[in-house]
């Protein structure tokens, strides 16, 4: 994203500066952009070639009717004999009708081809962008607003799709008409053609100016749309609504939305008007031309240039027919200039490189050492944290044997969740190594690594789908019996079975229709179906009341049997039986051992925490 001399042009808004930069940098990159857009169309070369052939045929065909018009006048209607020649006239009219029918048919075929190509290209671009975003590392999503990402996919690709599918058919159709009209005009009278086209360069210059203005407005419009999507997405989610309602902030939310909406309205009006003024002026320009042609024709006739009545009628007919296609082409150029800003925004996302990818030499997880997890002097700093902030993890070393139950405890903000993110390689370490089954996670295939890890976190995410579909997310080909077995093990089968729709019960947005404990047990059943070698529990029970906690904890105990478990715990009561407890504080492991060993350390952090919590429970 380098941008030379960017400082001088345009005021960069603080909101979506990247898009602004792309738009400012847009001008010198047009050719590059066009080449990339062209590449998108490469797979459709055949359809496009057919279209071009159709265009040429149509073009050839539409040169003829104006010439026939002249003949109809000069030979059919007003022949030298003075009496209309009906048979000739019938022939000419018949030919004209046949030509128009044929070219209308070709037009339909062309539109079908171009609409198919345009929409397919855009559809694929959308999928590519979505796929690319799936590959982006977790950090990209933690530092980008969800609404802004959604807006690129929906508003930007959508905007381009509209332009493109209209553009192809309009460019082709109008080019045909313009070329054909121009040729007919030349054949009819080159002198009058000069009069008709002399004003065109003026239009082109005006169009360029308007195009630039519109592209600028379009960038601002997309930024504002993106902000609106992000506000909507934040405010209208279940959590957002709950927050607004509980703090009585609905009015403030509406005001925030309204402010952005006003910007949007202003921009939309400006965008539409900037084009409309231009087209109004151009329209007047083009309609005045016939009048000028009559005058010039009179002048030509008085200067002994032969111009027949038929020629003048045919010429002005053609010229009038030229107006709309010409306006259409100008509009297309404008639209393309506008969509250039959108394309820049789309390509900008496609050009992002995922920070975490497989090495070419990456291997699958070694089944021999499955279940072993080690940290070797791991240092980690969040990518979006400033360089001056201390590292979140400072030289952390530990070793968890296959099948062990390891608990991580310590104050909030100590770095426990961060540890759980580094095992499945959601982030890459800043120093040291994370080893999974004996290999550095950076040398493993991500698919294989993640396949062997199951995560149950405090905030369970369930899709708005049936319980069965949510469970099969872990194993698409799981049988009903497998679903039930997993649900039984997770202590949730009886609850599901009591619902009228059983496993086909729809889960509300983010599972809000289920209680926290039920959701959590469904999440555990989901992980059991995945059957991973390593299970990560990130404060899986800390959001629950004590009754639900006991039920969920029982399910978790079943789930962790026979596999390595990394449990991040808030309540120490859940870790008493752990094989090993790591006490984390300030990004370091400050104590390690079993519950009994750690309680025995008189001045120990763990002992203090344990006594505090026991007192709280007793009191
Ligand atoms: P714990 O799970 O022990 O409560 P975390 O691992 O969640 O602690 O967080 C450790 C530290 O890292 C905290 O100070 C937190 O503010 C910081 N942190 C967490 N996530 C991010 C992030 N995405 N970017 C920057 N800092 C983060």
pLDDT digits (tens, 9 = 90+) for 87-107: 888 998 899 899 889 988 988
Q: Considering the domain boundaries, does residue 487 fall inside one?
A: yes
Q: What does the alpha-carbon distance between residue 351 and residue 526 come to, in Å, rounded to a whole number?
A: 35
Tell me, using a 6 A CB cutoff, whether residue 142 lines ligand 1: yes
Number of domains in the chain: 2
CA of 393 to the centre of ligand 1 (A): 10
Mean pLDDT of 534-560: 82
Q: Which two tokens stand for residue 458?
A: 């405090």
CA of 418 to the centre of ligand 1 (A): 6
Question: Is the domain of 337 the same as that of 405?
Answer: no
CATH code of the domain covering residue 306: 1.20.1560.10
Among the listed ranges 385-399, 402-416, 476-490, 575-589, which one has the minimum average pLDDT value?
385-399
- Give the number of other CB atoms < 10 A from CB of residue 477: 6
Question: Is the domain of 91 the same as that of 202?
Answer: yes
Question: Is the domain of 343 the same as that of 454?
Answer: no
Q: What pLDDT is recorded for position 29?
A: 61
Q: Considering the domain boundaries, does residue 597 fall inside one?
A: yes
Per the DSSP assignment, residues forming a β-bridge with 588 are 585
600 CB-near residues (< 8 Å, 6+ apart): 607
- Given the structure tokens 């400082």, which residue do they identify? 7
CA of 382 to the centre of ligand 1 (A): 8
Question: Is the domain of 273 the same as that of 173?
Answer: yes
Q: What pLDDT is recorded for position 511?
A: 53
Mean pLDDT of 419-425: 94
Q: What does the alpha-carbon distance between residue 125 and residue 133 come to, in Å, rounded to a whole number?
A: 12
Q: Return the DSSP state at 444.
A: B
CA of 416 to the centre of ligand 1 (A): 8
Q: Considering the domain boundaries, does residue 474 fall inside one?
A: yes
Report, in this order, helix, strand and coil percent for the chain, each rounded to 5: 65, 10, 25
- Taking a C-beta distance cutoff of 8 angstroms, is the pair 487, 523 a contact? no
Mean pLDDT of 29-46: 81
Question: Is the domain of 308 the same as that of 405?
Answer: no
Q: What pLDDT is recorded for position 458?
A: 81
Question: Is the domain of 317 the same as that of 406?
Answer: no
Q: Considering the domain boundaries, does residue 535 fall inside one?
A: yes
Q: What does the alpha-carbon distance between residue 405 and residue 580 come to, in Å, rounded to a whole number?
A: 7
The residue out of 350, 367, 382 marking a domain boundary is 350
- Give the number of other CB atoms < 10 A from CB of residue 509: 12
Q: What pLDDT is recorded for position 12?
A: 32
- Given the structure tokens 């203005």, which residue do they identify? 213
Q: Which of 47, 160, 180, 62 is nearest to 112 (CA)?
A: 47
Mean pLDDT of 300-315: 86
Model confidence band, residue 28 (pLDDT cutoffs 50, 70, 90): very low
Q: Which two tokens stand for residue 619?
A: 């009191």
Question: Is the domain of 227 the same as that of 288?
Answer: yes
Q: Considering the domain boundaries, does residue 561 fall inside one?
A: yes
Q: Return the DSSP state at 456.
A: E
- pTM of the predicted structure, to 2 decimals: 0.72
Half-sphere exposure of 240 (CA within 13 A, CB side): 13
Integer angstrom CA distances of residue 65 from 52, 91, 294, 305, 513: 21, 12, 21, 24, 69
Whether 84 shows a pLDDT value over 50: the answer reads: yes
Q: What is the DSSP string of 54-92?
A: HHHHHHHHHHHHHHHHHHIIIIIIS-TTSS--HHHHHHH
- Taking a C-beta distance cutoff of 8 angstroms, is the pair 147, 234 a contact? yes
Tell me, using a 6 A CB cutoff, whether residue 385 lines ligand 1: yes
- Outline where DSSP puts E strands in 349-506: 373-380, 393-400, 405-409, 431-436, 439-440, 453-457
Mean pLDDT of 427-444: 94
Ligand 1 pocket: which of 413, 421, 568, 589 to mutate (most atoms within 8 A of CB): 413
Question: Is the domain of 407 the same as that of 296?
Answer: no
Q: What does the alpha-carbon distance between residue 175 and residue 434 come to, in Å, rounded to a whole number?
A: 62
Question: Is the domain of 296 the same as that of 147?
Answer: yes
CA of 588 to the centre of ligand 1 (A): 13
Model confidence band, residue 119 (pLDDT cutoffs 50, 70, 90): confident
Q: Considering the domain boundaries, does residue 373 fall inside one?
A: no
566 CB-near residues (< 8 Å, 6+ apart): 373, 400, 406, 408, 419, 420, 423, 534, 535, 536, 537
Pairing between strand 580-585 and 431-436? unpaired
Q: What pLDDT is recorded for position 465?
A: 86
The helix or strand, by DSSP H or E, that contains position 478, with its residue range, turns out to be: none
Model confidence band, residue 83 (pLDDT cutoffs 50, 70, 90): confident
178 CB-near residues (< 8 Å, 6+ apart): 322, 325, 326, 329
Question: Is the domain of 328 the same as that of 406?
Answer: no
Q: Return the DSSP state at 507.
A: P
Q: What does the alpha-carbon distance between residue 601 and residue 607 come to, in Å, rounded to a whole number?
A: 6
Among the listed ranges 147-151, 154-158, 370-374, 510-514, which one has the minimum average pLDDT value?
510-514
- Taking a C-beta distance cutoff of 8 angstroms, is the pair 531, 451 a contact? no
Give the dihedral of Cα atoms 52, 56, 57, 59; nearest 10 deg: 130
CA of 377 to the centre of ligand 1 (A): 18
Model confidence band, residue 512 (pLDDT cutoffs 50, 70, 90): low
Alpha helices in 198-249 (DSSP H): 200-235, 238-246
Q: What pLDDT is recorded for position 142?
A: 82
Residue nearest to atom 16 of ligand 1 (CA): 413
Tell me, using a 6 A CB cutoff, whether residue 415 lines ligand 1: yes
236 CB-near residues (< 8 Å, 6+ apart): none
pLDDT digits (tens, 9 = 90+) for 606-617: 998 888 888 877
Q: What pLDDT is recorded for position 272?
A: 81
Q: Considering the domain boundaries, does residue 325 fall inside one?
A: yes
Question: Is the domain of 109 the same as that of 209?
Answer: yes
Q: Which of 21, 340, 323, 306 is nearest to 191 (CA)?
A: 306
Q: Which of 425, 462, 458, 459 is nearest to 444 (CA)?
A: 425
Residue nearest to atom 27 of ligand 1 (CA): 382
Question: Is the domain of 346 the same as that of 463?
Answer: no
Q: Considering the domain boundaries, does residue 17 fall inside one?
A: no
- Taking a C-beta distance cutoff of 8 angstroms, is the pair 427, 437 a contact? no
Q: What does the alpha-carbon distance between residue 189 and residue 306 come to, in Å, rounded to a whole number?
A: 10
Q: What does the alpha-carbon distance between residue 609 and residue 619 come to, in Å, rounded to a whole number?
A: 15
The residue out of 316, 334, 350 marking a domain boundary is 350
* Share above pLDDT 70 across residues of the chain, in percent, rounded to a whole number: 93
Mean pLDDT of 481-503: 90
Whether 270 shows a pLDDT value over 70: the answer reads: yes
CA of 587 to the centre of ligand 1 (A): 10
Q: Which of 454, 435, 455, 428 is nearest to 365 (CA)?
A: 435
CATH code of the domain covering residue 608: 3.40.50.300
Q: What pLDDT is recorded for position 210?
A: 79
Residue nearest to atom 13 of ligand 1 (CA): 413
How far is it between the farthest Cα atoms of the chain? 127
Model confidence band, residue 619 (pLDDT cutoffs 50, 70, 90): low
Please provide the average confidence, as pLDDT, over all residues in the chain: 83
Range of the domain at 65: 30-350
pLDDT digits (tens, 9 = 90+) for 179-221: 888 888 888 888 888 888 886 777 777 777 777 788 788 888 8
Tell me, using a 6 A CB cutoff, whether residue 412 lines ligand 1: yes
Q: 3-state class of 380 per DSSP?
A: strand
Q: What does the alpha-carbon distance between residue 555 and residue 533 come to, in Å, rounded to a whole number?
A: 17
């Amino acid at each position: 994203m380098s941008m030379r001399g960017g400082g001088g042009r345009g005021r960069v808004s603080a909101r979506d500066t990247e898009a602004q930069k792309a738009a400012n940098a847009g001008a010198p990159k047009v050719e590059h952009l066009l080449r990339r857009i062209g590449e998108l169309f490469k797979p459709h070369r055949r359809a496009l070639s057919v279209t071009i052939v159709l265009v040429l045929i149509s073009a050839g065909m539409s040169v003829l009717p104006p010439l026939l018009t002249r003949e109809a006048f000069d030979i059919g209607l007003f022949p030298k004999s003075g009496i209309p020649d009906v048979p000739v006239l019938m022939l000419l009219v018949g030919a004209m009708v046949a030509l128009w029918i044929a070219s209308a048919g070709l037009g339909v075929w062309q539109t079908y081809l171009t609409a198919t190509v345009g929409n397919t290209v855009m559809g694929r671009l959308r999928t590519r962008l979505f796929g690319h975003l799936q590959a982006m590392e977790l950090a990209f999503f933690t530092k980008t607003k969800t609404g802004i990402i959604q807006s690129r996919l929906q508003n930007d690709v959508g905007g381009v799709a509209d332009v493109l599918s209209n553009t192809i058919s309009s460019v082709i159709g109008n080019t045909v008409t313009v070329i054909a009209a121009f040729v007919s005009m030349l054949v009819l009278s080159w002198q009058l053609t000069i009069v008709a086209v002399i004003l065109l360069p003026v239009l082109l210059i005006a169009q360029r100016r308007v195009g630039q203005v519109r592209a600028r407005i379009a960038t601002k419009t997309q930024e504002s749309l993106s902000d609106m999507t992000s506000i909507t997405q934040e405010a209208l989610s279940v959590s957002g609504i709950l927050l607004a309602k509980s703090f009585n902030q609905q009015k403030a939310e509406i005001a925030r939305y309204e402010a952005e909406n006003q910007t949007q309205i202003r921009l939309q009006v400006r965008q539409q008007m900037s084009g409309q003024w231009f087209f109004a002026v151009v329209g007047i320009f083009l309609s005045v031309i016939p009048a000028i042609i009559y005058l010039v024709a009179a002048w030509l006739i008085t200067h002994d240039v032969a111009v027949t009545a038929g020629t003048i009628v045919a010429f002005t007919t053609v010229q009038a027919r030229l107006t709309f296609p010409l306006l259409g082409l100008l509009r297309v150029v404008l639209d393309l200039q506008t969509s250039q800003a959108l394309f820049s925004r789309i390509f900008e996302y496609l050009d992002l490189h995922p920070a975490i990818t497989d090495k070419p030499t990456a291997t699958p997880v070694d089944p021999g050492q499955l279940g072993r997890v080690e940290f070797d002097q791991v240092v980690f700093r969040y990518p979006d944290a400033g360089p001056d902030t201390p590292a979140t993890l400072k030289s952390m070393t530990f070793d968890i044997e296959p099948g062990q139950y390891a608990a991580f405890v310590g104050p909030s903000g100590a770095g426990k969740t961060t540890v759980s993110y580094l095992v499945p390689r959601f982030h890459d370490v800043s120093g040291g190594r994370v080893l999974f089954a004996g290999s550095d996670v950076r040398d493993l295939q991500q698919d294989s690594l993640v396949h062997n890890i199951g995560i149950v976190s405090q905030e369970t995410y369930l899709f708005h789908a049936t319980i069965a579909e949510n469970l099969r997310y872990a194993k698409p080909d799981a049988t009903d019996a497998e679903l039930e077995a997993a649900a039984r093990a997770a202590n949730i089968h009886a609850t599901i079975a009591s619902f009228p729709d059983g496993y086909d019960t729809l889960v509300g947005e983010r599972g809000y229709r289920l209680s926290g404990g039920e959701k959590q047990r469904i999440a555990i059943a989901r992980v059991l179906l995945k059957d991973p070698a390593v299970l990560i529990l990130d404060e899986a029970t800390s959001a629950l009341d004590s009754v639900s906690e006991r039920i969920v904890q029982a399910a978790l105990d079943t789930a962790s049997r026979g596999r390595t478990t990394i449990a991040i715990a808030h309540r120490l009561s859940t870790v008493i039986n752990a094989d090993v407890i790591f006490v984390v504080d300030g990004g370091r492991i400050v104590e390690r051992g079993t519950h009994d060993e750690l309680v025995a350390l008189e001045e120990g952090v763990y002992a203090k925490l344990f006594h505090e919590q026991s007192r709280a429970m007793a009191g």
